[in-house]
Structure 1
Amino acid sequence: MCGNHSRQSRGGALAVLSLPLRTTRFMPAVTTGQLTFHDCGEGSSVATHVTFVPDENSGNSSFTNLDSCIVGIHETGDLTRSAIISPFLYKFSLTRTQSTLQDDQEHSIEVPLNHPMKIEVGGEGIIGRRVTLWSQHAIDPIAEGIIGYN
């Protein structure tokens, strides 16, 4: 594998979200960052929570906008197809409940998943699949990436 090997694996699954490759308009990078699928430290191969950590250049305004966002995990990892026509395997909201609200100083949002997700390749697993972040006010996704092992 190429690249920086100094990053320690933390388990779970990780998707680095960036601006969509196929977008028809300019969108500011307020929702770029990392989605981590995990089980709250139990070491399981099933994710029960997801955490979003925005990039440093995203700014704090992204937190208020994310409460109305939907995360879609697609059936494939194909980024060449439009996300609008790419079928979903899972969809969930990043809306935080009162019990999941975190201190703004932590700079992350963690929400429990309504449906546990397998951290594996194939079948119902999420590894290698496309993930998109959608705003309720946009036609196209506002960020996307591929889920890999963390």
Structure 2
Amino acid sequence: MCHGHSSRMSEGGAIAILRGQGRQSGALFNAKITLKNSDEGIPTQATFLFEKSNKFPSLGACALVIHQDGNLNYEDTNQMPLHHIPFDLCNQQACEICEISLPARLDLGVGGQGVIGRKMTLMNSRQVIAEGIIGWN
């Protein structure tokens, strides 16, 4: 992908590959989240694609947290996130693809309020389920 050479076609928007392991259940959790802005003034569309293990955690009411930085090795609990987006994802264990409209339109750019290069965390009841970095799609 570096130097302009890639066999993968751009889909536009942003993407985050989230990975996690439940501290109590030991369940592995992988998700691909794509973010797209269509027409001006319309909230950002988020598509979640889950790779589930046999011990997949129940999601339901969740929050996406977009942090001020892009460091996966450090957690500054005193720093306010750039975005905290609560939503109700999928209440069914069988749901592998979910699409939602976020409550606001995100800046899918770099710097300022842009989300590219920042850490994204998927949380459920204040427990971190998975984390990753947002990049171009």
Give the TM-score, by structure 1 length. Answer: 0.72
Structure 1 stretches of at least 4 aligned residues deviating more than 6 Å after TM superposition: none
Coordinate RMSD, CA, aligned:
3.2
User: Partner of 2:105: helix, strand, or coil?
Assistant: strand
Structure 2 residue 77 is the aligned partner of structure 1 residue 78: no
Give the aligned partner of residue 20 of structure 2: 19
Q: Which runs of 5+ in 1 are unaligned?
A: none
The answer for the alignment partner of 1:126 in structure 2 is 115
Change (3 A) 1:121 1:131: same
Compare the two structures and name the one with the higher helix fraction. Answer: 1
Structure 2 runs not aligned, ≥5 long: none
Choose between structure 1 and 2: higher strand proportion: 2
The answer on 1:66 being equivalent to 2:59 is yes
Alignment of 1:48-63 (within 5 A): 48-55=44-51, 58-59=52-53, 62=56
| 1:34 and 2:27 aligned | no
Aligned residue pairs, count: 132
Residues 15 and 135 of structure 2 are in contact (CA less than 8 Å); yes or no, is this contact kept in structure 1? yes
TM-superposed deviation, 1:12? 0.4
Query: Normalization by structure 2: what TM-score?
Result: 0.78
Q: CA deviation at 1:59?
A: 4.9
CA contact (8 A) 2:59 2:89 kept: no
1:84-95 matched pairs, under 5 angstroms = 84-95=77-88
Distance 1:71 1:91 in 2: 6
